[in-house]
Structure 1
Amino acid sequence: MPARLVQQKRPAPLAEILAAPPGNARCLYWLGQAGFVIEAEGKRLVIDPYLSNSLAEKYRGKLYPHQRLMAAPVSPLELGRVDLVLSTHQHTDHMDPETLRPLMAQQPGLKLVAPRAAREEATRRAGVGPERLHLVDAGERTQPLPGIFVTATRAAHETLERDAAGNHKFLGYVIEIGNWRIWHSGDTIPYQGIIDDVAPLRPDIALLPVNGRSAELLANNVPGNLALGEAIEIGREIGAEAVIAHHFGMFDFNTEDPAAIDRAAAATPKPHLFRADPDQVFLWEEQR
């Protein structure tokens, strides 16, 4: 039966919603930057949560001070029961110790999916032993929980980088919950082979960063991401039903204009383009 993505206003504050156990509805909530809560079939996954102000502390007085423009919609301890947390790479806005440590400490059975190339940083930042890490590399399909499969894809932020052992430093994940497939690309620009990597995995929804990139930022050690038009084209070529544009509105030096995303959404019949919004919920609904 065909399905579609619907975006609507959250019925309550996010902390109140997440205080209840996850239900069977297939839905997504944006946490800001690249972070999402994914719920389906009684499971709750959290990917790339940045719910602190740790980067502002780290870069205080620097060229780019990393002050948050968007308040965190919840604290790490307001995520409720989490079944799995995933980090696409070790940049702090994707693998934040001030988010992961309290979350992992609160829920002793919780495991973290992370790149094998980030083993040491994932262990340190999450504050856990290796038995609580589920490490992967690009091209691997794994089952971290019953009924949930994760396939790691390559990501180029802004290049395809590997560690000394050949493991990719930047990843995306195709998450399968039942017959629902979501691709979170991680931080990436277009690279040769990206469509061949992802299209065979048949994601229904693509979560894609749209803050773009510039030579000035890269020269100051701020690698970039897809431009909005590139994200739309990749979503089209992989056959996704919908693209959710994210990774904007957090830092003033590295963002995209929400109005530009809305204009593109109005002009894009396929894939259906949505702008992530912390006050909204995305529902994957079957059409009858």
Structure 2
Amino acid sequence: MEYRSNPDLPFIKSDWPGNPYKDGAFQYLSDPFYPDWKMVLRMMISPNPKAKAKRADHWTPPVHSTSHWFEDRENDFIVWLGHACFVIQLGGRRYITDPVLQGMPLVPRLVSPPFRTSAIPHLDYILISHDHRDHCDQTTLKDLLTNNSILKILAPLGMEQTIQDWIGDTTLETAGWFQQYQQASTEPQLTFMPTRHWSRRWLHDFNRVLWGAFVLQYADKTIYFGGDSALHRGHYQTTAELFPQIDYALLPIGAYDPSYLMQGAHMNPEEATEAFGILGAKHFVPMHYGTYDLSNEPISEPLQRVQAAMKKADQYEQLLVPKVNEVVYL
């Protein structure tokens, strides 16, 4: 077993040896997970108990029609563009997370921002949490690179195997868990953190790319972008200990049914609410719902359930549910 990291980047956790790696894949030793094709087949051939409700559910997230944030270079803000894609402006820099702004093979997009991808201006950094197709897309990435002067793409270890041929001479910096990307001391600081997930784009590339979350810090503001994750209390507790003042937690809430297939990689809304509590963040911004039909639950169910769970936890006022393209000022 070897332990991989970027030797040019510092660790924020001194006792972390790097991410375990064996036989061409990153290993998840504490709780191994492998997507079993038998479970996928079971999902495909089994009746969906929510099928009737799903067919009747035509809800999609509302869309804010104007994009005044395009030319706002002064304020700190978050804008949700659907699924796991956010534009985050912090400390004078503009970031976009997990940019996928079109449909995927066999999976149409249900809601889109009111502009072309190429219209998004002033991006400085692209953040990619892992290489699943609903988080990393060639066409979207190329459009963003063509129309912005990107300083760096920040991503997990191994991401060069997926995107190097797409990005030309754009700088790609990869990190392992608990590593801080190279930024000037006057700039926002970004750290790559652990999640409970996996990666794959084809049949034979399981876990050749790492997966994880990002923490962005500037002055007195801290943002947690959770990528994709199952509920792993240890990961969230460690994150809370290392970053005890998270202001905004951007957490996934959808694609959880059936649980026998999804629970190893995705949280349901109640689990996401628990993760938010463990992180101790001030505000919860849900994501990974309402944009693509990836699982058995009705499209509106994740949002309804997370609203109910936050009410039950007496935290409803901390839940922020922006429209697609609506600005949340920090």
User: Normalising by structure 1, what TM-score?
Assistant: 0.78
Query: Unaligned regions of 5+ residues in structure 1, if any?
Result: 1-8, 59-64
- The 5-angstrom pairing of residues 58-207 of structure 1 reads 58=105, 65-125=106-166, 127-129=167-169, 132-144=171-183, 146-157=186-197, 169-191=210-232, 193-199=234-240, 200-202=242-244, 203-207=246-250
Q: Is the 8 A contact 1:211 1:225 kept in 2?
A: yes
Aligned pairs, how many? Answer: 256
Q: Does 1:283 align with 2:322?
A: no
CA contact (8 A) 1:241 1:270 kept: no
Task: Report what 1:249 is aligned to.
Answer: 290
Residues 80 and 86 of structure 2 are in contact (CA less than 8 Å); yes or no, is this contact kept in structure 1? yes
1:17 aligns with 2:80: no
**Per the alignment, in what secondary structure is the counterpart of residue 159 of structure 2?**
helix
**8 Å contact from structure 1 (residues 205, 240) kept in 2:** yes
Partner AA of 1:13 in structure 2: T
Give the partner amino acid of 2:194: R
Residues 216, 201 of structure 1: alpha-carbon distance in 2 compared, 3 angstrom cutoff: closer
Write the distance in 1 (CA, Å) between the matches of 2:114 and 2:175: 29
* Same amino acid, percent of matched pairs: 22
**1:111-163 deviation per Cα after TM superposition (whole angstroms, max 9, x unaligned):** 110111222212134x223x61011111101234551211111122269xxxx
Larger Rg computed on CA atoms: 2
Residues in 2 aligned to 1:283 and 1:158: alpha-carbon distance in whole angstroms: 32
Give 3-state SS (helix, strand or coil) of 1:66's partner. coil
Distance across 2 between alignment mates of 1:116 and 1:90: 11
**What CA deviation, in whole Å up to 9, does each residue of 1:42-100 have, x standing for no partner?**
221111121122x1xx2xxxxxx311111234322221101111010111221111111
* Runs (5+) with no aligned partner, structure 2: 1-61, 200-204
Alpha-carbon distance change, 212 to 102 in structure 1, aligned in 2, over 3 angstroms = closer
Q: Contact 1:104 / 1:110 at 8 angstroms: preserved in 2?
A: no
- 1:213, 1:46 → 2: CA distance? 25
Helix, strand or coil at the partner of 1:32: coil
Task: Using the TM superposition, name which of 75-84 and 144-153 deviates more.
Answer: 144-153
Aligned residues: CA RMSD:
3.0
Give the structure with the higher percent strand.
Answer: 1
Residue 101 (structure 2) aligns with: 51
Residues 252 and 223 (structure 1), Cα distance of their counterparts in 2 relative to 1, 3 Å cut: farther
